[in-house]
Amino acid sequence: MSWPIRPRPGSRPEPAKGGEDGVLLLPDDFSVPAYGAGTLADVLPSVATALGVPVRRGDLPTDPLDLTPALGGARRVAVLLVDGLGAELLAAHPREAPVLNALGTPAGVLSAPCPSTTPVSLVTLGTGLPPGSHGVLGFVTEVPGQDRTLNHVQWRDDPDPLQWQAQPTIFEQATAHGVTCTAVGPHTFARSGLTKAAYRGADYANAYSPGDLVAVVHAALATGDRSLVYGYTADLDLTGHVRGVDSTSWRHQLGVVDRMVEQLAAGLPDDAVLLVTADHGMVDVPDHTRLDIGEEPGLADGVRRLTGEPRARYVHTEPGAADDVLATWRSVLGHRAWVVSRAEAIDSGVFGPVEAAVADRIGDVVALARGSWAFTDVLSEPHSSLLAAFHGSLTSAELSIPLLAARGRSLDRP
């Protein structure tokens, strides 16, 4: 059931490059996601195209990963997203994940979007578009003009998901062309705003455990003449955040994921393919690379609101204070972060092209952590500040995600 296809050359995130004046646009340890060429945004458009769906995604190619020949005539495709399964973490643990590490890839290592965090990634996957197009631009973002924030994980129906994320999903497009689409995930997410933003057009099926997810995915794959089934599992990410990715707990949980993938692959219909990917990787953050924003003199001056998360901060400033805040944050954070204005961040391309209607969801100042640094806010975010590992920034450990595949028996190569 393994799929020994070699990685696609050049499929990793693009390294940062210098501008025309020779000034480096990003630090040399950061990468710009290559939207439309090898990112999470490109998975479902390629899958849907292989299933015969005429995908619409603006100027971006419809099958950038060249999955149409690679899927070999499959009429049923399951896409499992393992939250937190970074490609570098997976490659470093062959003993804990022998099944995953034995699977081949039809498209090489892909890139998560920016910021490399779950809500952004899930909507990027579901719409097939960069964050700047779909507008879910962070874990927590400001709701412009309403003096409040939106936590996308706690989101229900305010703001209206159909307005906050107005782009059509790949599931909607596939359903309209006769493909049976199902999203399988935790029952607690069934009616969430994030689910509506990312998966609308697919029937939502609850999964109550890893074994239940396997059974529900298999059942969904058997429906219809052509089927697209998406599955989501969060436990690896949760374990990494709480215990760290260099922990016995994380390694055991990776083994659970590996067994789940083995079961999914073993039960595939003969004309089906299983693809396994992720939303981001993760880095452990030791005590000596944590900076508490509330304890640093000057960082709160001129700041109206702080959003984002510890490795991907948006700073919203008081009127007229943006330049001073930018200068202060650059001075204080120094080598520990890439600190830029909203306009500079947009111009860098890390979000893809940014629609004017969603640009204000990005802070006036953007600070993305380098190395293993995290910028916590212990007073305002006491629980998340205590986590062992984080993600959100543009290092390869966070951006690099796998795309692995297993095939049904009738699709096996000789």
Reported as a pLDDT band with limits 50, 70 and 90, residue 2 is very low
Q: What is the pLDDT of residues 276-299, one digit of tens each?
A: 999 999 999 999 999 999 999 999
Write down the CATH number for the domain with range 14-284+396-411: 3.40.720.10
Residue 12 clears pLDDT 90, i.e. is over it: no
Over residues 100-119, the mean pLDDT reads 97
Residue 352 structure tokens = 């893809």
* Rounded distance between C-alpha atoms, residue 152 and residue 209, angstroms: 23
Q: Give the residue extent of every domain in the chain.
A: 14-284+396-411, 287-390
* Rounded distance between C-alpha atoms, residue 232 and residue 312, angstroms: 23
Q: What is the pLDDT of residues 326-353, one digit of tens each?
A: 999 999 999 999 999 999 999 999 999 9
Residue 5 structure tokens = 């296809």
Q: What is the pLDDT of residues 36-46, one digit of tens each?
A: 999 999 999 99
Residue 131, Cβ density class (10 Å: 0-12 exposed, 13-18 middle, ≥19 buried): buried
What local confidence, expressed as pLDDT, does residue 412 receive?
A: 55
Contacts with 325 (C-beta within 8 Å, 6 or more apart), sequence order? 301, 302, 303, 315, 317, 364, 365
Over residues 217-246, the mean pLDDT reads 98
Contacts with 156 (C-beta within 8 Å, 6 or more apart), sequence order? 191, 192, 193
Over residues 26-39, the mean pLDDT reads 95
Reported as a pLDDT band with limits 50, 70 and 90, residue 325 is very high
Same fold, 14-284+396-411 and 287-390: no
What local confidence, expressed as pLDDT, does residue 409 receive?
A: 76
**Residues pairing with 315 in the sheet:** 306, 365
Residues 70 and 408 sit within 8 Å (Cβ to Cβ):
no
* Rounded distance between C-alpha atoms, residue 147 and residue 128, angstroms: 30
Over residues 155-183, the mean pLDDT reads 98
Between the alpha carbon of residue 175 and those of residues 38, 45, 194, the distances in Å are 24, 13, 19
Over residues 162-170, the mean pLDDT reads 98
pLDDT over 90 percentage in the chain: 91
Residue 390 structure tokens = 């984080």
Residue 134, Cβ density class (10 Å: 0-12 exposed, 13-18 middle, ≥19 buried): buried
Residues 120 and 136 sit within 8 Å (Cβ to Cβ):
yes
Over residues 88-111, the mean pLDDT reads 97
pTM for this predicted structure: 0.94
Reported as a pLDDT band with limits 50, 70 and 90, residue 413 is low
Reported as a pLDDT band with limits 50, 70 and 90, residue 23 is very low
What local confidence, expressed as pLDDT, does residue 411 receive?
A: 74
Query: φ, ψ for residue 140 (rounded to 5)?
Result: -125, 130
Reported as a pLDDT band with limits 50, 70 and 90, residue 10 is very low
* Rounded distance between C-alpha atoms, residue 116 and residue 111, angstroms: 9
* Rounded distance between C-alpha atoms, residue 376 and residue 370, angstroms: 14
Nearest one of 156, 73, 44 to 408, comparing CA atoms: 73
**Residues pairing with 374 in the sheet:** 290
Over residues 186-193, the mean pLDDT reads 95
What local confidence, expressed as pLDDT, does residue 72 receive?
A: 83
Residue 5 clears pLDDT 70, i.e. is over it: no
What local confidence, expressed as pLDDT, does residue 352 receive?
A: 98
Residue 6 clears pLDDT 60, i.e. is over it: no
What local confidence, expressed as pLDDT, does residue 9 receive?
A: 35
Question: Which CATH architecture group holds 287-390?
Answer: 2-Layer Sandwich (3.30)
* Rounded distance between C-alpha atoms, residue 238 and residue 257, angstroms: 13
Over residues 362-387, the mean pLDDT reads 96
Q: What is the pLDDT of residues 235-275, one digit of tens each?
A: 999 999 999 999 999 999 999 999 999 999 999 999 999 99
